[in-house]
Copies of this chain bind each other. A is one copy, B any other.
Amino acid sequence: MRDVKIGLIGFGTVGRGTARVLYEQADRLKRRGGGHVLLKAVADINVESLPSHLEGITLTRDANDILDDPAIDIVVELIGGTTLARTYILKAIENGKHVVTANKALLSQHGTEIFVLAAEKNVEIGFEASVGGGIPIIKSLKEGLVANRIDSIIGILNGTANYILSKMSDYGLLFSEALQEAQDKGYAEADPGYDIEGIDTAHKLVILMSMAYGMKMDLADVTCEGISRLEPIDIDYAKEMGYRLKLLAISHNYGDHVEARVHPTLVPKEHMLASINGTYNGVCFSGDMVGNILLYGHGAGMMATGSAVVADIIDISRNIMSGFINRVPSLSYLPEYIKDRQISPMANLRCPFYIRFSTLDKTKVLSRIAGILGDNGISIESVIQKGSETEDSVPIVMSTYEASEESVNKALAEIDSLDITTDKAVKIRILVEKHE
C-alpha cells in the first residue's frame, strides 16, 4: 500500500492542529484502515521553524513548492481569505491534486469555480472543517442523509456570536462587554466583524444549502443581520416570554425557491437549539424521511477543526488507494443535477415577531398601536406592559402570531412616526419550527 502524501499550506491555529492530529493519531489511523498518510511539507510565510514532532518535514515559505511537487497527493489549504487561497486551490486542482480546506469564505463565494474545475480534473475537494469545526456535518449530509430531501436547515454556526449571546443572556452583559470577554478569551478576533455581523454564519449556510438542496452557491442573496445592536432589555423580556436569543442561520426549501437568512432569532426554550451555549455550534436538518436531526459540538478550535481536516484526508486517501475518485459527489449531487434556485425575498417571510415599542406613558397608547397592527393584519399573541422606566418613556413588549415581514415593516414604520412613540420599535423574529 503506497503512502499518501500531504502538503499543508498555512501553519496557523488550524494548520498546527491538523499537523498535531496527524502526528498524534498516526497509529490509530493505521489501525482504522486509513492507510499511510504522511505529512510531507508545510508552507507558511511567517513560520521560522516547525515544532520538534514534525522533524524531517520540509518547511517552505513558498506555497508553490507544494503545489508544484509531483509527489504531493493532497493539498491542505488553511491560510484562509479569498485571494491567495483561491489561487493556490485552483493551481492545486490544475496540477491534479486533491484539496482539503476549511475556507468557508472562499467556498461560499468561489465554490462554483472551484468545484467545476475539480470535476473537470477529477480531483476531490474535502471541506468538512468549513462548517461546524469538528462536527461531522458535511459527511452526514452527503452520506448519512443520502436518501432524504432536506426541507430545512436551522443552525447556530458561529461560536463567537453564540458565546456573546450566551453571556448577554446568562449574566446580563451589554453586547460590548460580552464581546470584550470573548476577545480576552481568544474566542473573537481583534476585528470581529464577520462573526458578529452574521457574515461567517452566512458563508456556512450557503455551503450547507448547496449540498442539502443541490443548488449553486450564491452568497449575494442571503439576508444577513448581526447581533451588535441587540440590547439586554430585549433578552430579558424574551426570557420572560419563554425564549432564548440566538444568531441563527435559517433556510427552508420550497422546491423552486428557497429561503436563506441569518439574523438574531428568539428560540423557544424547549427547543434543542436553545440549549446550545457558549462557543458550541449545532445544526438541525429536517429530512423528508428521517425527520429532525441535530448535530452538535465544537464549531472551531485547533484540535476539533484538525480532526475534521484529517477525516477528509483519510476519506480522500481511501479513494486514492481504491482508484475510485469522487466516490461520493463533492457537493452531494452529481454536477449535472446542481441547479440554480431562487432565494425568496425577505418581504415574503412569515413568522411570529417579538416587538418592543418605546412609548409615552399616556392613555390609549396600546390601543393605537394595536389598531395599526390590526389594520396590517397582524394579531397580537401576548403583551407585557410594565411601569415606566423613565419619566418620558415606557416599553410595550409584545409577541405576534405569524405575520409577514412586509406587513410588520409597514406597521412599524407607521407606528414609529406617531407622536406617542419615543424611539424606533425593536423587532426580533421568532422561530416557529417544531422540534418537539
Residues of A within 8 A of B (CB): 21-22, 24-25, 28-29, 31-34, 128, 133-136, 139-140, 143-149, 214, 270, 272, 274-278, 280, 282, 287, 289-298, 301, 303-304, 306-308, 310-311, 314-315, 318, 321-324, 326-329, 332-334, 337, 436
Contact B327 A436 (CB under 8 A): no
Instruction: Find A292's partner among B31, B274, B298 (CB 8 Å cutoff).
Output: B298
- Majority DSSP secondary structure for residues of A touching B: mixed
Q: For the complex, what is the distance from the CA of A146 to the CA of B316, rounded to whole Å?
A: 13
Instruction: Find A146's partner among B135, B311, B321 (CB 8 Å cutoff).
Output: B311
Contact B329 A147 (CB under 8 A): no
Q: How near does chain B come to A250, taking the closest CB pair, in angstroms?
A: 18
Q: Name the B residues within 8 Å of A293 (CB-CB).
A: 134-136, 295-297
Q: Name the B residues within 8 Å of A301 (CB-CB).
A: 291
Contact A289 B144 (CB under 8 A): no
Contact A306 B328 (CB under 8 A): no
Q: Name the B residues within 8 Å of A277 (CB-CB).
A: 270, 436
Contact of A34 with B146 at beta-carbon distance under 8 Å, contacts A270-B275, A327-B322, A436-B280 already known: yes
Contact A32 B136 (CB under 8 A): no
Contact of A291 with B296 at beta-carbon distance under 8 Å, contacts A139-B140, A148-B307 already known: no
Q: Name the B residues within 8 Å of A280 (CB-CB).
A: 436
Instruction: Find A28's partner among B144, B149, B278, B318 (CB 8 Å cutoff).
Output: B149
Instruction: Find A315's partner among B143, B148, B214, B287 (CB 8 Å cutoff).
Output: B143
Contact B294 A307 (CB under 8 A): no
Q: Name the B residues within 8 Å of A324 (CB-CB).
A: 318, 321-324
Q: Name the B residues within 8 Å of A292 (CB-CB).
A: 297-298
Closest to A287 in B: B307
Contact B147 A136 (CB under 8 A): no
10 A-B pairs with least C-beta separation = A136-B144, A322-B324, A134-B290, A294-B296, A147-B310, A293-B297, A289-B307, A31-B337, A290-B307, A25-B147
Contact A289 B275 (CB under 8 A): no
Closest to A25 in B: B147
Q: For the complex, what is the distance from the CA of A135 to the CA of B293, rounded to whole Å?
A: 7
Q: How near does chain B come to A312, taking the closest CB pair, in angstroms?
A: 10
Q: How near does chain B come to A24, taking the closest CB pair, in angstroms?
A: 8
Q: Name the B residues within 8 Å of A143 (CB-CB).
A: 136, 139, 311, 314-315
Contact of A298 with B290 at beta-carbon distance under 8 Å, contacts A144-B311, A146-B314 already known: yes
Instruction: Find A32's partner among B135, B296, B308, B334 (CB 8 Å cutoff).
Output: B334
Contact B136 A314 (CB under 8 A): no
Q: How near does chain B come to A99, taking the closest CB pair, in angstroms?
A: 18
Q: How near does chain B come to A128, taking the closest CB pair, in angstroms?
A: 7
Q: Name the B residues within 8 Å of A304 (CB-CB).
A: 289-291
Contact A33 B334 (CB under 8 A): yes
Contact B134 A310 (CB under 8 A): no
Contact A332 B296 (CB under 8 A): no
| Pairs across A and B, CB under 8 Å, 15 listed | A25-B289, A33-B334, A135-B290, A135-B293, A139-B143, A272-B276, A275-B275, A277-B436, A291-B297, A293-B296, A294-B295, A295-B295, A323-B324, A324-B324, A327-B327
Q: How near does chain B come to A1, taking the closest CB pair, in angstroms?
A: 12
Question: Told that A28-B148, A289-B306, A322-B322 touch, could you supply 7 new A-B pairs with CB distance under 8 A?
Answer: A31-B337, A32-B146, A133-B290, A140-B140, A270-B277, A275-B275, A282-B294
